[in-house]
Structures are given as C-alpha cells and as structure tokens.
C-alpha cells in the first residue's frame, strides 16, 4: 500500500469533528487495506510504530526536522525554521515547502507503507555517535519522495505530534464496523483491554474474524489494562451497594505494579504501561523467588517502608524509586514492599474470568508470603459498623483508605474498566467533597506580583473518553510552593503548543497552551455548573459545563498516569451527582 493512501485518509479524518464520520472513514479504509499491513496501519494512525508497552518513541527534535525539510525541499534552513516557530507545526511547514519544491526530484521512489515503517523504525532506533545526523538524513530521504500531504504526516509522526483523533475507541468501533457487528464490539474491546495492543486486535479480526478475537487472552509479557474502582461517599452506601457483604482491603498509597512473572525473568509494568522493572529490581527478584507458579501475572501496590520498624511510609518516599538515574542508591536507601491484591493469570490459565475469592485464594496460596512480598490486609465485612472499624484500622496503619470488593459470583477482573465491583473510600472524602481529581494541564497564565515572569496559574482539563477530547474544569493557582513554581517550565515546556491543541476544548484562553501531557492531583471544595468551563458542556444544563471551585494542587504530580488516564468528564458528572445527593441530606 502507498503511504499517500494513508495520508489522504488522515487528512479526511482531520477534517471531520464527528466521531461517527471518523469511524466510517476508518472502517472503509480498513476494509480495503491489505490484511497483512493492517497492524502497522493502525499503529501509524496513532502516530506510533508499535504498542505503548514496547520501549521506544518517535520524538525527533524540531531543529533536526527543519534541516531535513530544508534539504528535501531545497529551501534555506532559516526559512523553514522561522515557519516552524510561527506555526508550531513542522507538518504544516513540510507540506507548504514540499509543495513549493525548488527542483523536481529526478529519481524518486514510491513511498510505500512498508518503506515508511522501515525508515521510521531506523529513526526511532538510531542511537550513539552520529545518530542525530542519521535521523535527519533518513527523514530527508523520506521527504524527498513525498508529496505535500505525505510530508505533513511524516513530520507530525516523527515529532510525536500525530493527533488525527484516531483514539482507541474510534479504532475499535471501526474494526467492528469493518469486520464484525455492533454486538461484537464488547468482545473486541475486551481483546484490546487484555493485550493493550490495538494493532494485534486489528490483525486478528481481519485475518481470523471474531472467533480468533474471542481466543485472545491474557498472556505473560503483554500488559493488561488495569481494573479501576468507583467511589461512594460513605461506608453505609458502599455496604448497601454491595448487598450487605463484601471484602474490604486496605488501600495502600504507593505505586501500582502489574508483575509479569515468567519462568526466567520478571517484568513490572506501571498502570500507564511503562516498564518499571529497573525501578524495583528487588521486588522483581523476590516475586520470582517466592512464586510457586511457573508463570503468573499479579498486581500489587509498591510501598516504601521504614527499614527499622517495617511501618509504611508516605507516598513521597516511594517516588524516589521512579527516578531515571542513581537507581542503585535508591534501591539501597528506600526499602519497599509489594502488597499483592490480584491474580490475573497462573500457569496457562486466564484467571480474569474467575470471581474475587477464587483469585485471591490462588494468589495467597501461589506465593510464599514474607519479606518484601506481602498480601494486602483483607477482611470480609457484613455490616456498616464492621466496615467503619476496618476503615479506622486502615488509617491507623497509615493507609489512605479502603477498597471494597464485591464477593458476587460475577466479581471478575474487569480489565480496563471502572465499575462498582471495586469501590474506594478514602480519608479525604471525610474532609473535602469527594475524591481528589487528577487533571491534565492544557495551558498556563503568567503570574503577577511575586509570581511575575513565571507561570502563576494553570488551565486544567478532564478527559472525555467518548470523544477523546480534553475539556477544562478549572484555573488552578493554589497549592504551588516555590520549588514547584520554579520547576514548572521544565515540567511543562516540552509540551508547549503555539495554538490550542486540537484535542482540547476550552473557552478560557491562557497565555500559553500545552499539549496534554502532565497530570496533577487537585482537591477542591465543590463542583458547580459553569458557563466558562467546557467539561460536560450542555449535559446537565444548556450553555453550562462543570467547573470545580477553590481547586488546590496537592503537591503530587501523577506521572504514573497518562493524560488519557486522568479523571474523566463522566466521573465528574457522577461526583456532581453524589454531591447534590449529599446536600439533599440523603447521605448519612
């Protein structure tokens, strides 16, 4: 297949804001694509060459791309550079300059998808001496054989700015439309949730149909999308919702880890699919030593502990294990334990379909519990009083609250979904309105007075899973200490955007825009209807969205969450409902 075919499809996707239309465009394209190429096409439509859990990202610096554009188009470098600074989009610049090529290429070779993938892989893997030079030359060779539209998307892809809006959910819809039926959509989504590999799902459905898709199951080495919890405002409501009986576990305040324990080696993944093995080599080793299964996938929370007393330490301590350098010292100085809470796979069997008690039983019996490998504290509770007592015990043990887990027959591990099989209840709920929010930074305002010359406040957004867009909920200017204010440019400026990023919906216009990249934890006093914020616009009242009042940064940068994993708009709508319920005096 020619890359121009793909570029034309991207262009059509970009020119429509309607998800239905995008689905139709993609479905039609998937149907006519060569089945063997579909996997790569799907990755390319998300600006990638492979699934996220495979290491390596395309992120070529603008100055190298400028050089390649200049070389391939025959224009001076300073012209290309000036245009990139003005537009903030090397793709647009490449398109304009390639269409005004100084000289027609004498020998040009067709740009096939195969060649594009091969050469982009060379760029992604280029390493060591001369790597910058090689990257630039490889891109120039691709641009040499490109038309304007192909050049636009090549340059956006290499710089990591490919946002045509082919969100996971849209691609899954399109796969159902092209190769199956609407009824098959949940099974297709499950296949994605248990493999985190949308290209694999595409290839499987195109080649083997729905039977093959249903055969996709959890396997060691392929991370599984994590199951998430709902929230309720009181233990009484949790007990009611759970039918009067449930398991309660301490909710540890650490870093969630999904461990893939192979016969020889162990890999640890974060909830955003980063490889954390080198951050917790001691945990990886202990898990292998203490695991009685040949192969297993487990989940647990890694928490820092006081080496003298074994007491759990606050979250900030375990973050020392997340740095890139000086890991040997961090492993020595910051002892951690893993508190295991789930079993997803054991010796050839996908356990995600089993109910909670069966999974928990096999988790406990499958390990020699001790040392760094512990189970979460759990108790089956049958009344509100028992639940409240357990919650008090959790706080006394320095945990942030409890996780209530359903004991029903259908209490399966629901990969990738937030539901009422797990309900969280945290100590914050007793002080503030509800839960904290994890919001994505999409803009900044310059400060005044003491903050003059630096960013003084940030424009924060929630994620709408349906549309794949970021919608604003507040301007955040409280809770920043001097160190954070000083560090803001280095935290944020890598994602500066000249204009409002296409995935952001905002009425408020900040001094600078950012591509969604950084997630911060925020607490607030209240969720209110807002004419200026765009989250859930028109959902509850025409002309109003939802905003949060008196937001305050907690000091916690959620670098374990990608922007798409931040608090969703539908969660905020739900919290708004919980809050209205509270003020009606209906809660206890």
Which residues of this protein are in contact with ligand ATP, per CB under 6 A? 228-229, 249, 251-252, 256, 301, 341, 376, 403, 424
> Least distance to ligand ATP from the beta carbon of 424, Å?
5
> Least distance to ligand ATP from the beta carbon of 16, Å?
32
117 Cβ contact list (under 8 Å, min separation 6): 40, 44, 49
CA distance 320 to 325: 10
> Least distance to ligand ATP from the beta carbon of 307, Å?
22
Tokens (6 digits) for 500: 């409002």
> Least distance to ligand ATP from the beta carbon of 416, Å?
11
Question: How many other CB atoms are there within 10 angstroms of residue 170's CB atom?
Answer: 22
> Least distance to ligand ATP from the beta carbon of 301, Å?
4
Residue with Cβ nearer ligand ATP (124 or 299):
299
> Least distance to ligand ATP from the beta carbon of 429, Å?
11
The DSSP secondary structure of 199-258, one letter per residue, reads HHHHHHHHHHHHHHHHT----TTS--PPPEEEE-S-HHHHHHHTTT-EEEEEE--SEEEE
CA distance 44 to 147: 18
> Least distance to ligand ATP from the beta carbon of 319, Å?
14
Residue with Cβ nearer ligand ATP (229 or 527):
229
Catalytic residues, by residue number, are 251
> Least distance to ligand ATP from the beta carbon of 132, Å?
38
Residue with Cβ nearer ligand ATP (230 or 350):
230
Q: Which residues pair with 471 in a beta bridge?
A: 462, 505
CA distance 144 to 299: 48
112 Cβ contact list (under 8 Å, min separation 6): 1, 2, 3
Residue with Cβ nearer ligand ATP (213 or 519):
519
Residue with Cβ nearer ligand ATP (123 or 242):
242
Residue with Cβ nearer ligand ATP (179 or 413):
413
Q: Which residues of 43-66 are buried (b: 16+ CB within 10 A; e: fewer)?
A: bbbbbbbbbbbeeeebebebebbb
| The CA-based dihedral angle spanning residues 129, 135, 136, 140, taken in that order and rounded to the nearest 10 degrees | 140
Q: Measured at the alpha carbon of residue 223, what is the angle toward residues 220 and 226, in degrees to the nearest 5?
A: 125
Classify residue 50 as left (phi > 0), alpha (psi -120 to 50) or beta: beta
If we measure between CA atoms, which residue out of 165, 156, 167 comes closest to residue 198?
Answer: 167
Tokens (6 digits) for 461: 């957004």
Tell the residue number behind the tokens 């009422």, with chain if given.
420
Residue with Cβ nearer ligand ATP (105 or 397):
397
Q: Which residues pair with 472 in a beta bridge?
A: 461
Using CB positions, name the residue nearest to ligand ATP.
Answer: 256
> Least distance to ligand ATP from the beta carbon of 474, Å?
17
CA distance 194 to 350: 10
Residue with Cβ nearer ligand ATP (302 or 504):
302
> Least distance to ligand ATP from the beta carbon of 553, Å?
14
Residue with Cβ nearer ligand ATP (218 or 403):
403
If we measure between CA atoms, which residue out of 31, 22, 29 comes closest to residue 6?
Answer: 29
The helix-helix angle for 131-144 and 62-73 (nearest 10°) equals: 40
Q: Is 52 helix (H, G, I), strand (E, B) or coil?
A: coil
Residue with Cβ nearer ligand ATP (191 or 227):
227
Tell the residue number behind the tokens 């691609």, with chain if given.
171
For residues 384 and 235, the answer to whether their CB atoms sit within 8 Å is: yes
CA distance 169 to 179: 15
Classify residue 96 as left (phi > 0), alpha (psi -120 to 50) or beta: alpha
Of the chain, the end-to-end C-alpha distance in Å amounts to 63
């Amino acid at each position: 297949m020619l890359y121009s075919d793909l570029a034309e499809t991207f262009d059509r996707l970009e020119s429509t804001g309607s998800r239905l239309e995008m689905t139709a465009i993609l479905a039609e394209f998937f149907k006519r694509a060569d089945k063997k190429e579909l996997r790569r096409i799907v990755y390319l439509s998300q600006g990638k060459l492979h699934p996220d859990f495979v290491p390596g990202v395309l992120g070529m610096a603008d100055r190298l791309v400028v050089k390649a554009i200049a070389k391939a188009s025959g224009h001076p470098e300073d012209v290309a550079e000036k245009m990139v600074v003005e537009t903030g989009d090397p793709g647009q610049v490449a398109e304009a300059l390639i269409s005004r090529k100084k000289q027609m290429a004498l020998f040009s070779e067709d740009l096939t998808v195969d060649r594009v993938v091969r050469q982009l892989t060379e760029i992604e893997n280029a390493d060591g001496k001369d790597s910058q030079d090689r990257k630039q030359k490889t891109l120039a060779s691709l641009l040499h054989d490109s038309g304007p539209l192909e050049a636009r998307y090549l340059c956006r892809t290499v710089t990591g700015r490919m946002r045509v809006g082919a969100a996971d959910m849209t691609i899954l819809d399109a796969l159902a439309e092209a190769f199956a039926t609407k009824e098959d959509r949940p099974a297709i989504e499950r296949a994605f949730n248990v493999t985190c590999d949308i290209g694999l799902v595409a290839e499987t459905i195109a080649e083997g149909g729905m039977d093959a898709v249903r055969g996709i199951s959890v396997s060691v080495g392929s991370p599984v999308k994590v199951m998430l919890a709902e929230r309720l405002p009181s233990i009484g409501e949790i007990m009611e919702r759970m039918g009067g009986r449930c398991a309660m576990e301490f909710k540890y305040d650490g870093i969630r880890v999904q461990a893939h324990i192979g016969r020889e080696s162990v890999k640890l993944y974060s909830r955003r699919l980063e490889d954390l093995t080198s951050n917790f080599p001691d945990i990886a080793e202990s898990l292998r030593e203490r695991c009685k299964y040949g192969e297993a996938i487990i989940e647990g929370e890694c928490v820092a502990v006081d080496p003298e007393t074994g007491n759990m330490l606050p979250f900030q301590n375990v973050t020392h294990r997340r740095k890139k350098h000086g890991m040997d010292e961090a492993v020595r100085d910051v002892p951690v334990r893993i508190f295991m809470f789930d079993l997803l796979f054991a010796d050839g069997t996908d356990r995600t379909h089993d109910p909670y008690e069966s999974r928990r039983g096999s988790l406990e019996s499958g390990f020699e519990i001790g040392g760094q490998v512990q189970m979460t504290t759990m108790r089956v509770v049958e009344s509100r009083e028992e639940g409240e007592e357990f919650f008090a015990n959790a706080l006394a043990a320095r945990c942030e609250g409890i996780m209530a887990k359903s004991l029903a027959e259908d209490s399966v591990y629901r990969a990738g979904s937030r539901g009422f099989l797990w309900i969280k209840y945290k100590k914050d709920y007793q002080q503030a309105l509800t839960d904290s929010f994890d919001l994505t930074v999409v803009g900044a305002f310059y400060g005044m007075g003491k903050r003059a010359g630096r960013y003084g406040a940030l424009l924060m957004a929630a994620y709408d899973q349906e549309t794949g867009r970021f919608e604003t909920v507040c301007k955040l200017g409280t809770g920043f200490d001097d160190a954070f204010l000083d560090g803001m440019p280095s935290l944020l400026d890598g994602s500066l955007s000249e204009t409002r990023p296409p995935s952001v919906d905002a009425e408020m216009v900040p001094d600078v825009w950012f591509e969604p990249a950084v997630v911060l934890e925020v607490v607030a006093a209240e969720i209110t209807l807002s004419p200026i914020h765009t989250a859930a616009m028109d959902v509850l009242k025409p002309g109003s969205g939802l905003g949060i009042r008196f937001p305050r940064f907690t000091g916690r940068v959620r670098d374990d969450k990608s922007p798409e994993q931040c608090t969703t708009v539908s969660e905020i709508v739900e919290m708004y409902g919980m809050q209205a319920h509270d003020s009606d005096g209906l809660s206890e």
